[in-house]
A and B are shown apart, each in its own frame.
Chain A
Amino acid sequence: MTHEQQPDEIQPAVASEINDIGWRLRNTLFRKVTVYDQSIYYSDTAKRNRTASKQVNRIRALLSLLTGIASALAALLVSITNGPNTIVLNFLAVMAVALPAFAAAFNTLADLYQWDRTTRIYDTAQRTLKYAEAYEPNISDEEKEYRKKQMRYAQAALQIMRDEQAQWGLSIRIPKDNEKFVQEQIGKITQKK
């Protein structure tokens, strides 16, 4: 099947020789779509993770506080009333049981997402990327010097991304509480059998 070429159609091809203008254009593109956007990605992700971490920590603290209040209130009601109000006491008992369970769930969630750890990774990566920018060639550099600096700059930037990726991979793990829970539950079923 023949393919009629349109006048403005671009034919995929690789240039073996790239001149000074070509390097400079590539550098402009690399700086924009790799370094700059990557840097924004790191800061955005760190910001999102920091927010999520704060929110979850706040919820965990609130749940602990409410558990304490529910327990204390139950004790108070029992001691100051003649006949215990069963509805209120039952409600408080259920709260004292359910709230720590929810707090534990939020612990597991934080463990699953590793917000604190990934925030540190992205913050560091972003700072390092800023540092790598110091290697960027100057517009006034001569051709050879420009290319030399450009290679160093691009290598440094890609290395930072590789390192960040490796660290990110290490931060992902199955939450320990979940592993323990699954083993316990499977154990229960096995015993019943």
Chain B
Amino acid sequence: MSHKNRGKDGVVKPPDTTPITSFEGEIEPVEKSYFRLPAIQTALWLVIGVICLNLIGWSLLPRLILDNDGLSGAKNVLALVNAGFFFGALSLCREQWILFKKFRSSEVPPLTATKNAPSPQPTLIQTLIRWSVGVIGGIVLTFVVSTTIIQVNNGNIDILNLELVVLISVAGIIAFTIVRWLNKKHGATLEKVIAADTPLTQQRKTSQLPQWIKELPLEDVNDQKENFRLIAEDALVEAKKKFAEQHKTVETEKADKAYSDLQAEIEFLEMYVVGLFKQRDYDAKYYQTAYRRYQVGYMLLAVLAAIFGSLLALNLNENSANEAHGRFWVAVFGFLETVVALATTYLASISGRENALEKWLENRQKAEGLRREYQQFLMRLTPYDKGTTTELEESLKRRAAAINLLGSPDIDDDDLRNAIVEAAKDQ
């Protein structure tokens, strides 16, 4: 029951999880190669970004702003690209700083795990947002810096060769692309460090956004992982290794026999319990996301209602001063208030049909019940502490099915009948 498998938030992980720490929980020593490629990458960004910022500031934008001498479209595009570069450099520096802090506090997983970790790809919208923010931020900064430089140079704007700007930009972009490719393949970027250090789940979030934003239900629930297991293969291998270290006197043959028995039993459990768990876990996450989306939707509508209501009240007060103007805005805000009320009613009507909260809690309870049953069986806790193979198998199948149906392993025929009647009523 790895925490990486943990299902409270609908988490499900594939079996090929790379262990992030040693068995005892000590963090393995981190390696300096964490920094090599990312550092070169950042340095390139910095040099290109900062140099280009200044070059652009000195040569292009002032012309646009002060001279208005008819810059071509290509130059404008170049200005935007370079402005974006500057912001990218800032962003990379920030990443390096976080990586450095993690390194200092030994909060980094082993390099091998990091290198093997998948490099998360941003979505198109995320890329567009990042790029827009970069470009806008870069333009603002460029404008401020360039106009300051022009002021310092007594209005002289012809102090740089434009061809040099283009040359440096192109060379920088090529060098950066090569290093970035190498880094993605062999390096330990912060994204990879976070990916290796973050519970591997279907809903993994590795971005560096503030925590409260990461908690928002912005992402859709991913499909179930076909190869999900409650105990990953590598965890089993690791346990075997640890066992061998602790019990050096045990004969290898006997240890191997115990291991293959355990392996076979885990396969059995995966077959009869994990299938049910996966579905419950997925449903829990699905309804959790739905519930939170509804609630966040209400929250946003409440903000709008408060703003429109207050503005309406403000305009009502101003009515006497400027009657026609006031009447117009009163009508507009009144209309918007009605739209908000209608939207709320609509949301309440669709959310009421689904009852996402109840289903979320119910499915989560069942998923966790199945997970405990799995552990109980593996450790032969009551009621699995006695019985023949067949009895144990039957007992597990029955109890798992009961948890899946009603949330409790101990149900009698009456409970079953009632459940069927309730299900029929729901339909």
Contact B302–A14 (Cβ < 8 Å): no
With known contacts A10-B263, A109-B212, A174-B295, A16–B231 Cβ distance under 8 A: no
Contact B267–A22 (Cβ < 8 Å): no
- State in angstroms the CA–CA spacing of A77 and B33 once bound together: 58
Give per-residue flags for A138-168: 1 if the beta carbon is below 8 A from chain B beta carbons, else 0: 0100000000001100110010011001001
B32 within 8 A of A: no
What interface size band does chain B fall in? Answer: 35 or more
Contact A162–B262 (Cβ < 8 Å): no
Give A110's nearest chain B residue, CB to CB.
B212
A68 within 8 A of B: no
B246 within 8 A of A: yes
Give B392's nearest chain A residue, CB to CB.
A14
Q: Closest CB of chain B to A35's CB: distance in Å?
A: 9
B236 within 8 A of A: yes
- State in angstroms the CA–CA spacing of A26 and B231 once bound together: 12
Contact B392–A12 (Cβ < 8 Å): no
Contact A104–B262 (Cβ < 8 Å): no
B23 within 8 A of A: yes
Residues of A near B242 (CB, < 8 A) are 28, 32
Give per-residue flags for A1-21: 1 if the beta carbon is below 8 A from chain B beta carbons, else 0: 000000000111111101101
**Interface residue from A10, A34, A41, A51 paired with B260 (Cβ < 8 Å):** A10
What interface size band does chain A fall in? Answer: 35 or more
Instruction: Describe A's contact surface by its main secondary structure.
Output: helix
Interface centre among A21, A174, A186 (most CB of B within 10 A): A21
Given A113-B215, A151-B379, A181-B302, 19 other A-B contacts at CB below 8 A? A12-B268, A19-B254, A21-B255, A29-B231, A30-B379, A34-B375, A36-B25, A38-B6, A56-B212, A94-B311, A97-B307, A97-B311, A105-B299, A139-B247, A172-B357, A178-B295, A181-B298, A182-B348, A192-B338
A-B pairs with beta carbons under 8 Å apart, 5 shown: A33-B2, A55-B211, A101-B306, A139-B246, A172-B357
Binding site for A on B (CB under 8 A): 1-6, 8, 23, 25, 199, 210-212, 214-215, 231-232, 235-236, 238-240, 242-243, 246-247, 250, 254-255, 257-265, 267-268, 270-271, 292, 295-296, 298-303, 305-307, 310-311, 314, 337-338, 340-342, 344-345, 347-348, 357, 360-361, 364-365, 368, 372, 375-376, 378-381, 385, 387-389, 392-393, 396
